[in-house]
Amino acid sequence: MAMQPTILEVDPEGDTLFILRNPDAPFAVESSFTLWPRALPQYWMPHMKENETSLWLSAIAATPATNNTPEIHMRLSSKHLTLASVYFQKLASSGWIETKVASGYSYTVTAKDWDADSLIILMNIIHGQTQKVPNKIDLEMLAKIAVLVDYYKCHKAVRFFADAWISRLRQPLPSSYSRDLLLRLLVSYIFSEHRVFTALTKTIIYESRGPIHTLGLPIPEDMVYILEVERKQLISGLISSLNSLKTQLSKEEKECSFECSSMSLGALIKGMISMRLDDPQPTEPFNGYSVVAIEKAIGDIKIPNYLGSLRHGSSFSGATHSTYTGGFGSINSYAEKPNCNLEKKIEPIVKQQLESLQGLSLASFPSH
């Protein structure tokens, strides 16, 4: 026996029946969710593994085989709907041809899977029932409303309330890749938060190890693509810079001795191999590699003890300890030069690459 629907009179004089089937379906799930490959896990920040596991578990949340939740029937006003929503404007222009009209109504509209509470909040806003609209909501509910706003194209109608909800969010802006970050990214995109969007995309580029997980949310494909391009370009730039430094060290340098550059070159090569950045080198699309892990791996390359090594290496050109002052100059003179230190050579190239990490501009992705 079919369960009786829940009846909601949003507008008691309304002419439109809105039928929500299978209400409260799992939100932000992705049956095809795939974990990224695990490259350089020893350089992941502590929260990264925990966040990824939590994201994976929530994304694959199983949909119940049978949904015993009754349908929700809402009486709405076609006038209010068409004034607020581009979706309903287009539906009206087509003669509201969507489903068979129910008795007692001029129009009938159906939907499925939406979160019931978020849909009721949206319809109360559209119908001017502002006393029924909550002053505060959490990120989860805000993201659910953002999905509805995107689908029904009613951004202007919800703008005032969205700004108020966002300003009162208790959750701080997510600072690492996680489910909350993806929900917050969606909210910033739908409700045009330019600075927040840029900050969140910067975090994504820095920590992601492959194309971001959209969780079935209306995150544009071109946004996913550009975020992935930015990640790959940064990683490629870091590795290319290390290769250029290897080439530089293999040649004669005016500011550095043969001995110092040789030690630096050897340390760089050994370090890159040890950190799995060479032999073989990672190649595009750099699946499993994040910018942050590459950065930390580079920072873990061991720096030679130039002065100690040279003082104990008395075989070159008759040098004995630190007293040699022949054609190469004194050991102290070139060992103490800042340009003779591998760390001083690596730091600026890493800094230069990371300075190019700016995040994306929301202007490139208009949502309405």
Spans of all domains in the chain: 233-355
pLDDT tens string 160-169: 999 999 999 9
User: Helices 155-167 and 116-126 sit at what angle, rounded to 10 degrees?
Assistant: 120
* Beta carbons within 8 Å of 211's beta carbon, 6+ residues apart: 224, 225, 227, 228
* Beta carbons within 8 Å of 195's beta carbon, 6+ residues apart: none
Contact 211, 204 (CB under 8 A): no
100-106: long-range contacts, CB 8 A cutoff, minimum separation 24: 102/17, 104/17, 105/15, 105/16, 105/17, 105/75, 106/15, 106/16, 106/78
φ and ψ at residue 108, rounded to 5 degrees: -135, 135
Which amino acid type is present at position 135?
N
DSSP-derived secondary structure letter, 11: S
Cα gap 69→57, rounded to integer Å: 24
How many other C-beta atoms can be found within 10 angstroms of the C-beta atom of residue 318? 8
pLDDT given at position 330: 41
Lowest mean pLDDT among 34-43, 222-231, 247-256, 331-340: 331-340
pLDDT given at position 366: 84
Q: Are strands 16-21 and 72-76 parallel, antiparallel or unpaired?
A: antiparallel
Cα gap 316→22, rounded to integer Å: 81
Q: Does the pLDDT at position 327 exceed 50?
A: no
Closest by Cα among 213, 214, 240, 212 to 227: 212
Residue bearing the bigger pLDDT, 31 or 177? 177
- Mean of pLDDT over the chain: 88
Q: Does the pLDDT at position 1 exceed 60?
A: no
Percent of the chain with pLDDT over 70: 86
Q: Does the pLDDT at position 97 exceed 80?
A: no
Average the pLDDT over 182-200 and give the result: 98
* Beta carbons within 8 Å of 285's beta carbon, 6+ residues apart: 210, 228, 232
* 32 band by pLDDT with thresholds 50, 70 and 90: confident
Cα gap 109→103, rounded to integer Å: 13
Average the pLDDT over 81-100 and give the result: 86
* 67 band by pLDDT with thresholds 50, 70 and 90: low
Contact 129, 9 (CB under 8 A): no
Q: Across the strands, what pairs with 214?
A: none
**How is the chain split among helix, strand and coil, in percent rounded to 5?**
50, 5, 40
pLDDT given at position 321: 32
Q: Across the strands, what pairs with 109?
A: 18
**pTM across the whole model:** 0.88
pLDDT given at position 63: 57
Average the pLDDT over 124-130 and give the result: 97
3-state secondary structure of 73: strand
Euclidean distance between the first and final Cα of the chain, in Å? Answer: 43
pLDDT tens string 254-296: 667 788 888 899 999 999 998 889 989 999 999 999 999 999 9
pLDDT given at position 164: 98
Average the pLDDT over 75-84 and give the result: 97
pLDDT given at position 279: 87
pLDDT given at position 316: 34
pLDDT given at position 77: 97
> Cis ω on the peptide bond leading into residue 280 (within 30° of 0)?
yes
Average the pLDDT over 91-107 and give the result: 80
